[in-house]
Amino acid sequence: MLIENKGIRTDTFYMPPFDLNIGEIVVLYLFNGQHFFETEMFLKDIFCGKTRHKNVMVHKELTFVEHFIEPKLRRLFYPVTVGEYLKKNANLDSPYATKIYDIEWINEKTKVNTLAGNPRRLLSLYATLSKTKNIVFDVVGQDPKGAEETYEVVKEVVNKGGSAILLDHFEDMKDNCTKYVELQWN
């Protein structure tokens, strides 16, 4: 067991109990709306071990698949390339470090800020998966096809002994996961 959640209660919501084991994908449905980002970051910090919660036992910390954000001046004068991003954020010995190059039009010199939401998200996902197989992720900024592609990549990793928590704001994955947990608003 990687994570044992006995229930998280705050002033605004209640997250029902669940466990995360190796080989499982838990989808946490947080609903859509203005509260999503704040709730997502709160839960991410707990499951990644950055914040302790009395009802959550984190036996193995997970890693959040961060979104790529580039400072404006850097974007204007010296944009980050895919190769540079991977050198800084990936384990280059892992096959996942070069998996982004399976998309034929992406190479080491491609500027990350020119990538649309789906390939940009895959880049950060592959970089994270090159270091760990236990992740927390979301599909924010992706279209339905890209979200499905991201989910399939994660599912493949989970089937090979990984584990994942998807912080989602749509119900699409309800029937395509190991466990589905719905946030309850107070």
87 shares its domain with 55: no
pTM for the complete prediction? 0.93
In terms of residue numbers, what domain contains 112?
A: 75-131
58 shares its domain with 22: yes
Half-sphere CA count of 111, side-chain side, radius 13 A: 9
Inside any domain, residue 36: yes
Domain termination site, one of 98, 116, 131: 131
First to last CA, the chain: 29
Inside any domain, residue 68: no
Q: What is the DSSP string of 6-44?
A: --EE-SSEEE--EEE-TT-EEEEE--SSTTHHHHHHHHH
Domain termination site, one of 131, 151, 175: 131
On whether the CB atoms of residues 4 and 59 are closer than 8 A, the answer is: yes
pLDDT tens digits, the chain, 186 residues: what are they? 999 999 999 999 999 999 999 999 999 999 888 889 999 999 999 999 999 999 999 999 999 999 998 988 888 899 999 999 999 999 999 999 999 999 999 999 999 999 998 999 999 999 999 999 999 999 998 999 999 999 999 999 999 999 999 999 888 888 889 999 999 988
Inside any domain, residue 69: no
Domain with residue 49: its CATH number is 3.40.50.300
